Amino acid sequence: MGKSSILFAVFWAKMRYYLLKVKGHANIPDYVQVRDAQFTLVCYVRPGRTDKRTLLPPGLLQELSTVFPQLPYGQVQPVEWDPDRKILTLL
């Protein structure tokens, strides 16, 4: 197994993200923050408009959009993404 195989295997391991639903006021809509394992903001998206381009792995934003309606406002929800099987798990 060469260096590139090892890097590829590590890159496609399960990834942990944190979701935070932010309540909008008046004419400002609700938003969901998606943060990585280091708690760096990687995506800021409106729950009803998940068609934007992001740096998230392919398929993740579509899976996250199914979770958005059940998220409580102001609470951090950890999730784990398995890119090989395209499965999102709430933690």
Spell out the residues 6+ positions from residue 71 whose beta carbon is closer than 8 angstroms to its own: 19, 21, 32, 77
Residue 62 has a pLDDT of 84
Q: What is the mean pLDDT of residues 41-62?
A: 79
**pLDDT for the residue 68:** 87
Q: Is 89 left (phi over 0), alpha (psi -120 to 50) or beta?
A: beta
The pLDDT, as a whole number, for residue 57 is: 79
pTM of the model: 0.77
